[in-house]
Amino acid sequence: MERRERRLYWFFAVNYFAQGMAGLAYEPVDYLLKDGLHLGAAKAAAFVTWMTLPLTIKPVFGLLTDMLPWAGKRRAPHMVAVSLATSAGWGLLALADGYRYGPTLALLFLINVGFVLSDIVCDGVMVERGQERGRTGPYQAVQIGTLYATLVLTGWGGGWLAAHASYRTIFALAALFPLLTAGSAVWIEESGVGDIGETAAQGWAALKVVARDRRAWAVAAAILLWDFCPFLGIAQFYYQSEALKLSPVFIGGLSTAGGAAGVAGAALFARLSSRPGGTERLARWSVGLGGALSLLYLFYVGPGTILALTVLFGLTGVVFRLAWMDLAARACPAGAEATAFAAFMAVFNIAAAASNWLGGALYERWAAAHGAYAAMAALSLIGSACTFACWPLLRPALRGGRPA
């Protein structure tokens, strides 16, 4: 592997390592909402929806890196600035004197703005260089494989921190990782960029092309349905912690197990997608096989089955998710790589936010009326039905070619 290629792989790995390690704070935040702010499942889900709103409007931030070059560059200066801002956000949260709903939500919202911007810059580089070299799949496998590898550390680590460390210590630790993404900017390869007017004109023209592309719309619609899983997120956390009485360390351990399985899934995707038609075949499996596998959540009833299902879905979920991400990357036009890919990723995030909010609200209502297991079973059936609903979208989504 040539030196330029190694530097690029290091760039992706460092960025997703830093993003993933911030996950040390995720489980503690869940407990902060439940035990510190005393929110029920529905109100906690609403908090998370607002907190993660920047993830659902990623294309807006993509415009900044695609169309507003800084010092003649579209990627590196943006990466440094937003990474430092994210680190400052975690630092302010660590210095907070107690936690109240409004200020806590505002700071976590701003942290997610910085997280989204740095992720968009990284993905812009991935699409730009990946399409140029025909390696969007392998680059994303490194990104997601690294992200899931961090879950091996953040799963047990987040659970241990939630049980033993103060919120101040946890947030101060999270503030260190964005500094790595700031440093990684030295590995970014920049294409030739004109002035702001020329760059913006090229970007808008590219966006018009993808907006008229039926395949892009089919991919987006399929992603929305495939990733709508109301049995995950807040509903799952409240079911684990309240109905099943699982400890914070065990819940964190599930993330570790899922992370290890996700690393294996990323490696498996890299192998399977390298074959002719491999990504398209995996997308089909994600609907037919994925919908059937979702029904196994009906057996999500105890530590043993929960651990087994966590590993199974950690493996298959990453393989299938990467297939849709690769299809999305291939559909991005030159000149608006970050914005277009951010739009596809925003669909993932919209599906996750909507299903998390709905799942939390329905779980609280149905669990009170019919019991916790019945509520989770009903939510798993809804998720499986949404996955199967992707089937009519496969034909238009899998058409070959890049937007002209």
Residue type present at position 10:
W
Q: What distance lies between CA 49 and its chain's CA centroid?
A: 14
- Taking the C-alpha atoms of residue 252 and residue 269, their distance in angstroms, rounded to an integer, is 25
Domain-embedded: residue 160:
yes
d(CA 83, CA 180): 8
Q: Which one, of 23, 22, 29, 25, lies nearest residue 104 by Cα?
A: 29
Q: Encode 271-322 in three state secondary structure.
A: HHHCCCCHHHHHHHHHHHHHHHHHHHHHHCCCHHHHHHHHHHHHHHHHHHHH
Residue 197, pLDDT score: 64
pTM: 0.76
Vertex 101 angle, CA 233 and 115, to 5°: 55
Residue 192 lies in a domain: no
328 to 171, 251, 272, 342: CA distances (angstroms): 33, 32, 17, 10
Residue 356 included in any domain: yes
Q: Which residues does 32 contact at the CB level (< 8 Å), separation at least 6? A: 99, 104, 167
Domain presence at residue 400: no
Number of domains in the chain: 1
Q: What does the block give as tokens for 78?
A: 């943006």
190 token code pair: 């920049």
Task: Tell me if 309 is assigned to some domain.
Answer: yes
C-alpha to C-alpha distance for 300 and 380, rounded to whole angstroms: 10
In a domain, 191, yes or no: no
Alpha-carbon gap, residue 339 to 217, rounded angstroms: 15
Q: What distance, in Å, lies between the first and last C-alpha atoms of the chain? A: 31
In CATH, what number is assigned to the domain containing residue 154? Answer: 1.20.1250.20
Element (H, E) at 389: none
Q: Examine residue 404 and state whether it is found in any structural domain, yes or no.
A: no
CA distance linking residue 404 with residue 82, whole number of Å: 32
pLDDT value of position 404: 46
State CA 55 to chain mean position distance. 9
> What is the 3 state secondary structure string of 59-72?
HHHHHHHHHCCECC
Neighbours of 326 (CB within 10 A): 24
Nearest to 167 by CA among 127, 230, 107: 107
154 within domain boundaries: yes
Domain encompassing residue 111? 3-186+197-392
Q: Which helix (H) or strand (E) holds 122?
A: helix 101-133
pLDDT tens digits, the chain, 404 residues: what are they?
A: 677 788 889 999 999 999 889 888 887 888 888 888 888 878 888 888 889 888 777 787 788 777 777 777 878 888 999 999 999 999 999 988 888 898 899 999 999 988 888 988 888 888 888 888 888 888 888 998 898 888 777 767 777 887 788 888 999 999 999 999 999 988 887 765 655 666 777 777 877 877 888 888 999 999 999 999 998 888 888 888 888 888 887 887 887 888 889 889 999 998 898 888 889 999 999 999 999 998 988 888 888 898 999 999 989 999 999 999 999 988 888 777 888 888 898 898 889 889 988 998 899 899 999 999 999 999 999 999 999 999 999 988 887 555 44
**DSSP letter (8 states) at residue 399:** -
Contact 159, 27 (CB under 8 A): yes
The span from the CA of 55 to the CA of 353, in Å, is 9
Q: What is the pLDDT of residue 402?
A: 52
Q: Identify the pLDDT of residue 280.
A: 92
Q: What is the DSSP string of 24-65?
A: GGHHHHHHIIIIIS---HHHHHHHHHHHTHHHHTHHHHHHHH
